[in-house]
Structure 1
Amino acid sequence: MQENNFTVRVGVAALALLGLVTALYFGRALLLPLVIALMLATVFWPIVQHLHQHWHLPRVLAGALVLLAFVALVVSFALWALTAIQQLVQELPQTYEQQVRVYEIIRRNVQAISPEFAEHILPPHVEDSIFFKHFDQFVKTQTDNLPFYLRTTVENVVLVLFLVLFLLLEGEMLIQRFGQIFGPLTEQHAQAAIKALHEMALAVRSYIVWRSLINAGMAVFLGLFFAQLGLRQGWTWAILAGILTFVPYIGPIIAGVPPAIEAFISPGFGPATVVVVTYLVVLLVEGYIIFPLVIGRNVQLNATTVLLACMFWWVVWGEVGLFLAVPLMAGVRAICLHVPGWEAWGNLMGMDPTAPSWVRKLAARLFPTWRALHGLTIEQDQEAIIPSAESAQQRSARQALGPKDASLPAETAVSRSLPKTGELADSA
């Protein structure tokens, strides 16, 4: 009987999962703008609350001001992107002679590294190159499709902005109504649901804000480095790297290809090597030191979860799903950690701190708020700063016991060195 019940539960869970995936796939036209709007609303919510409570602005005006600032930022970036794309297209070889000249430069540089590889991939006659035949057609196709991409993007942006405005205006009411689904607001279930919702919003907001700040800093550093190296499109590649780094693993790899190719074509193999090595160092510092330090432990996801999430959301929602995969899973993990019975699933998706121990020790000493961000208590923080240090009392107790009990734990050594209750009475 128990085996039958287990089989039924597994079957029901599999059907529910299949139904969820189907709904996500076929409902992406509706769900994608809603999910993006929810994420933006969680980011803008503290700003709107501050303007409403401390500056006494009406919530409508506060939300409108925040959205206007965001629209101005998006429009400025869009104008810059269009200018950069136009300049990049103009710098591409237009005539047949220019294309042949660029092909010969690439082939000569590749031959200097590996002649056999150049012979197989880049034949001597440019007409025999498959890449050369299809490159011009690829650029023309993408250029012709650009107006369609722009129109679709503008329509989705307008829809998302209206959704964000409504969420900012009615956020408090929606949160209360969400809690009432689980019972009266005074009961434990409703309060737990609202708390889980707040924790999910905090996890998503923390990831988006810190990820954006880190990517912006990385883009500025790479832009200065590429410009100093003499790359003509250095800032374009740097900002592209800042955008694509939102996509784990795949994004940084794709973003590193264009600057390496430009450096390889123009200056040569040496500058291209410098570009690749510096780019890898920046990614390592960002991924293993900076990002784990500023992101709280409730937001950190292990590599397996991130990779599976990217695969799942890419299949369901395409390229946009790659950008949303990590914040979505961070929100799911936050919910699992605060729902009774689901904590094990949240723990399964999490990970231990990946920053080096000396970096975490230094951060704990310099920034007291870092402990709260990572959920450390004072005792855990002291243990992290001095992991194996014994107190003066423990060391003196171990010395008093002599070499016979030197291998005992420090707490046992202290307890054995203390006088017993009877001994205290006799001495009195």
Structure 2
Amino acid sequence: MQMRRALIPIVPLLGAAAVFVIMVALYLGRSLFAPVFLAVFIVSVVWPLQRAMEARLPRVLAMFLTVLATAAVVIAMASLVMWGLNRAVQWAIGNAAAFQTHYQRMDVWLQGHGFYLASEFIHNFEPRWLFGALQRLGVGLQQVASFIVIALVFVVLGLLEVDSTRQKLVRAGRADVVGACRATAAKFQRYMVIRSAVSAATGLGVWALAYAVGLDLAPEWGLIAFALNFIPFIGPLFATVLPTLFAIVQFGFAIEPVLIFIGLNLVQFLLGSYLEPRIAGRRLSISPFLVLFAVFLWSMLWGIAGAFIGVPMLIALMTFAEHHPAMRSWTSLLAGDPAERGRSD
């Protein structure tokens, strides 16, 4: 009995050590694990298309058309986003002197009104920092595109093995795992439909606002907002701050940058914080704290690709936990607001 009590404090330490080892392994093997996890996510999302084609076409041809359609969508989105970012970088380089002038004026104004901490930040501001941030964002999105290209190879293999894997699990008596996989795939599909619709609405809203105010690069800001909205919290933040900075350079310290900033926050709040949770409903309700933690955790491990796939990973973990009796109570504790979930159904 005493030995058993002595082992109890060791169990949490062993669990923490195991989690740490797993995190290190995922980080060191990100070039392999990230495409594989992304491939599983893509297979789960496009499987209904594959199954519908298999009813009319040979299996291999259906798989080829499914992968071709997926690649076409990815290439089209990546091309549009990179075009928008390149246009923004070119505009910023062409107005580098204006950037420096306006932020020096902001430094003087902040010092004159006693905002010394903010003034210190502005004083050290260099336009090259902004250019570097835009270029790093572009490089990160290119890495995501390269991950997707590698993932498509795994998608081909995954689409060919979905049925055989399901049959093996059933024969092994693991129907519970099959049920968890089906529930996870259904949530992935719902998540992507909702996220795509909200992202498209966000992009249109940003474009309309920028066009109405007269901000340069209005179509580009709409495309960038559409793409970045797939990354919760971090994406909308960049999609709000960047156009505001460019508006200050274009209009100076006038009413237009204020309108841009307020309008962008209003668009993000109405679509991301109000409309999307009500559309998602109970089946995708997750604590906002967990969503933010997942985004930062996976972005730390895998960069922008991890930030994109962080929420789907969280959805998968919680769905499998829901199908495990010992973990079911924890999923209800970590879910979103029960009152909101009840009203959304």
Range of TM-score over shorter length: 0.7 to 0.9
Kept in 1, the 8 Å contact 2:63–2:160? The answer is yes
Aligned length: 341
1:4 — aligned with what?
Answer: 6
Q: Equivalent of 2:235, from 220, 230, 251?
A: 251
Give, in whole Å, the separation in 1 of the partners of 2:64 and 2:282: 33
Cα displacement (A) at 1:105: 4.1
Are 2:335 and 1:350 aligned? yes
2:257 — aligned with what?
Answer: 272
2:302 — aligned with what?
Answer: 317
Alignment RMSD (CA, Å): 3.3
For 1:381-408, what per-residue CA distance to the aligned partner results, in whole angstroms no more than 9, with x for missing partners?
xxxxxxxxxxxxxxxxxxxxxxxxxxxx
1:224 — aligned with what?
Answer: 208
5+ unaligned residues in a row in structure 1: which ranges?
185-189, 364-373, 375-428
SS at match of 1:92: helix
Q: Measured at CA, do residues 24 and 86 of structure 1 come closer, stay the same or move farther in structure 2, by a change above 3 Å?
A: closer
Give, in whole Å, the separation in 2 of the partners of 1:277 and 1:162: 44
2:180 — aligned with what?
Answer: 196
Cα displacement (A) at 1:264: 1.9
**What amino acid sits opposite 1:165 in the alignment?**
V
Give 1 or 2 for the bigger CA radius of gyration. 1
Q: Measured at CA, do residues 336 and 300 of structure 1 come closer, stay the same or move farther in structure 2, by a change above 3 Å?
A: same
SS at match of 1:206: helix
1:29 — aligned with what?
Answer: 31
Give, in whole Å, the separation in 1 of the partners of 2:256 and 2:108: 16
1:74 — aligned with what?
Answer: 74
SS at match of 1:248: coil
My pick for the range that moved more, 160-169 or 317-326, is 317-326
Are 2:161 and 1:170 aligned? yes
2:245 — aligned with what?
Answer: 261
Q: Measured at CA, do residues 333 and 67 of structure 1 come closer, stay the same or move farther in structure 2, by a change above 3 Å?
A: same
Normalized per residue, which structure has more helix?
2
**What amino acid sits opposite 1:325 in the alignment?**
G
Kept in 2, the 8 Å contact 1:110–1:118? The answer is no
**What amino acid sits opposite 2:161 in the alignment?**
E
Q: Measured at CA, do residues 252 and 114 of structure 1 come closer, stay the same or move farther in structure 2, by a change above 3 Å?
A: farther
Q: Measured at CA, do residues 111 and 137 of structure 1 come closer, stay the same or move farther in structure 2, by a change above 3 Å?
A: closer
Give, in whole Å, the separation in 2 of the partners of 1:325 and 1:148: 15
Higher RCO, Cα 8 Å, sep 6+: 2
**Which residues of 2 match residues 232-251 of structure 1 at below 5 A?**
232-251=216-235
Kept in 2, the 8 Å contact 1:204–1:328? The answer is no
**What amino acid sits opposite 2:91 in the alignment?**
E
**What amino acid sits opposite 2:317 in the alignment?**
V
Q: Measured at CA, do residues 100 and 197 of structure 1 come closer, stay the same or move farther in structure 2, by a change above 3 Å?
A: closer
**What amino acid sits opposite 2:202 in the alignment?**
M
Q: Equivalent of 2:290, from 298, 305, 310?
A: 305
Q: Measured at CA, do residues 335 and 91 of structure 1 come closer, stay the same or move farther in structure 2, by a change above 3 Å?
A: same
Instruction: State, as a whole percentage, how many aligned pairs show the same letter.
Output: 24
Are 2:285 and 1:283 aligned? no
Cα displacement (A) at 1:148: 10
